[in-house]
Amino acid sequence: MTAAIKMLAYGVSADFMDEYLRIGESTTIKSLKKFVKAVVSIFSEEYLRSPNNNDIARLLVVGQHRGFPGMLGSIDCMHWKWKNCPSKWKGQYIGHTHDPTIILEIVASYDLWIWHAFFGLPGSHNDINVIERSSVFSELAEGRAPPVNYSINGNDYSMGYYLADGIYPSWATFVKTIPAPQDRKRQHFASAQEAARKDVERAFGVLQICNYERHTYLGENNFDYDQIDNNGPEPVSHNPTCNLMQFIERHNSIRDRGIHSQLQADLVEHLWQLQGQS
């Protein structure tokens, strides 16, 4: 336990333990693997997983109440300083800072639930390089993600989206702020988007799960979680040709710039109408 936790906490190599704990390199690696397997075995069912149908329904209801129908959370990256980075690797792990860093990409919801984490790319990468290698849209592209259907301003959509900052690409699955908005509608949208996107910034600040917030956020709306179908998505066809064509179609839909622009315009109008009603 001591060897595994020290390696994870300080980022030291396995052979470092030989001098400190009198444990050989091979034994340290074996201990680390057993420790990680135990963590996954104990916590994977509740924490280390993608959202199921019940989670999706909850996130969509919360997004609706915040003025963003179809929103599943906020996405961003941070650079995690690697104090004990080996000297021979420092070149590839140094980016816009002078210290070696490892990049962490997360998707966080309003209650600081980090349900997606992609960690390990060198600090010389940026957010665009990370998203190209990330698995955040793998289940969606493979047809295994729970369905997400909603309507905004009279237009129907079938994919959820994440709030993101300006560096992210203009994909159908991202909603970004508007830089230098010129009218009151767009100024209101930019303010609302940037305020809601602070969820991921708070998550970076605490990096912990807050279960109690899930059941108090909706207040008097009395959303009944037990009525939601908790079954997973329908099984994917095993026809290789069909699967390949469907995968390509879904992959292109995720990166559709036209849907991105339309979705942003619809949200501008939707939030402005909510502002007028209030």
Q: What is the spatial distance between Cα 85 and Cα 189, in angstroms, rounded to a whole number? A: 42
Beta bridge partners of 80: 102
Instruction: Name the residue with higher pLDDT: 146 or 48.
Output: 146
**Percent of all residues in the chain with a pLDDT value above 90, rounded to a whole number:** 54
Per the CB < 8 A criterion, the answer to whether 73 and 173 are in contact is no
Higher pLDDT, 217 or 78: 78
Residue 188 has pLDDT above 60, yes or no: yes
pLDDT, average across residues 151-166: 94
Average pLDDT over residues 29-47: 90
In 82-135, beta strands by DSSP E: 101-108, 114-122
pLDDT > 70: what percent of the chain?
86
Average pLDDT for 222-249? 58
Rounded to two decimals, the pTM is 0.79
Confidence of residue 240 (pLDDT cuts 50, 70, 90): low
The 3-state secondary structure of 252-277, one letter per residue? HHHCCHHHHHHHHHHHHHHHHHHHHH
Q: Are 53 and 146 in contact (CB under 8 A)?
A: yes
Q: Residue 228 pLDDT > 80, yes or no?
A: no
Least confident residue range of 65-74, 207-216, 269-278: 207-216
Residue 207, pLDDT > 50, answer yes
Torsions phi, psi of 160, nearest 5? Answer: -70, 170
62-109: per-residue pLDDT in tens? 999 999 999 999 999 998 888 888 888 889 999 877 899 999 999 999
Residues linked to residue 74 through DSSP beta bridges, in sequence order: 108, 163
pLDDT of 214 reads 47
* Beta carbons of 102 and 79 less than 8 angstroms apart: yes
Report the length, in residues, of the chain: 278
Domain boundary assignment for the chain: 1-48, 49-277
Residue 36, pLDDT above cutoff 60: yes
Residue closest to 73 by CA, chosen among 51, 42, 40: 51
